[in-house]
Amino acid sequence: MSFPEQQQTPPGVQSQMEPVPDCGETSYRGSGRLTGKRAVITGGDSGIGRAVAIAYAREGADVLIAYLNEHDDAKDVQKYVEEAGRKCVLVPGDLADPAQCRAVVDKAVEEFGGIDVLVINAAYQMTHESLDEISDEEWDYTFRLNIGHYFYLVKAALPHMGSGASIIGSSSVNSDMPSPTLAPYAATKAAIANFSASLAQMLGEKGIRANSVAPGPIWTPLIPATMPPEKVKQFGENTPLGRAGQPVELAPVYVMLASDEASYVTGARIAVTGGRPIL
């Protein structure tokens, strides 16, 4: 399957993609697996985060969505969450700023009274053919957002998380099969997998679980916003399944890891890669 050539300005807008990604708007059916849970999802306006937000709401969770500035996409997700009968709080702002991460946690505690599930999903990437193309500022920003906001949010959220809570980091197949044209992004995704494993060991005595998910090529706004049009057209064709994944195909894994059914799953990294291996 090939996509039409297209390009957007970062961070990208889901509604302008062709085709629009499938985030489970019409297909995901919940069964009460997260009833009463309170979730914070970063990057929840589009792509994987959007699919997770919709699935969580239909499984019975209230959701706070932290996002940059894609207001129309975020409001669209809010509509789906509220149609599922759950509360949805929107918090825009740059999560590369530690103060913004603390504000997200404060808002979640104010609205929900605590946090049961923390999904670290917001990320920045950009395609570059050489190191000369990567500015110092872009390198620093990629790390402050992708892995930095993981640290800032968890540190702020832990006093409001109890036994049975779940932390889920969005890593990537790039964490151990790095694309040379996505070097800063790939390095941060390896750090997310590693940090998740550290948290699992650190927080086990508190009954708090930490895991990561390693997506392969998934059709999200990051793709047309950060890759040249010719690469967009062929995106995902080099997987064993021969296609890119849709965000909705990640949602069941994030639901499982957030649910009480995964009470003995911590320190894991789950691959959803279309057949690409991870180490």
Active site residues: 185
User: Taking 70 as the threshold, does the pLDDT of residue 245 lie above it?
Assistant: yes
Find out whether 212 and 226 touch, Cβ atoms under 8 Å.
no
Q: What value does the mean pLDDT of the chain take? A: 96
pLDDT of residue 10: 87
pLDDT of residue 137: 98
Find out whether 24 and 59 touch, Cβ atoms under 8 Å.
no
How does pLDDT run across 85-95, given as a tens digit for each residue? 999 999 999 99
Alpha-carbon gap, residue 234 to 237, rounded angstroms: 6
Residue 267 pLDDT grade (very low, low, confident, very high; cuts 50, 70, 90): very high
Q: Which residues are within 8 A (CB) of 210 and not within 5 positions of it... i.e. 6 or more apart? A: 166, 167, 168, 169, 196, 197, 199, 200, 203, 266, 267
All domains of the chain in start order, with CATH = 32-272 (3.40.50.720)
| Cβ neighbours of 29 (radius 10 Å) | 8
User: Taking 80 as the threshold, does the pLDDT of residue 159 lie above it?
Assistant: yes
pLDDT of residue 72: 93
Residue 1 pLDDT grade (very low, low, confident, very high; cuts 50, 70, 90): low
Amino acid at 69: N
Q: What percent of the chain has pLDDT over 70?
A: 100
Residue scoring higher pLDDT (162 or 176):
162
| Cβ neighbours of 222 (radius 10 Å) | 22
pLDDT of residue 169: 98
Residue 162 pLDDT grade (very low, low, confident, very high; cuts 50, 70, 90): very high
pLDDT of residue 226: 86
Alpha-carbon gap, residue 176 to 81, rounded angstroms: 34
229's tokens = 């049009």
| Cβ neighbours of 207 (radius 10 Å) | 13
Alpha-carbon gap, residue 210 to 165, rounded angstroms: 9
pLDDT of residue 257: 98
pLDDT of residue 214: 97
How does pLDDT run across 37-72, given as a tens digit for each residue? 999 999 999 999 999 999 999 999 999 999 999 999
How does pLDDT run across 71-124, given as a tens digit for each residue? 999 999 999 999 999 999 999 999 999 999 999 999 999 999 999 999 999 999
Find out whether 217 and 274 touch, Cβ atoms under 8 Å.
yes
pTM attached to this predicted model: 0.96
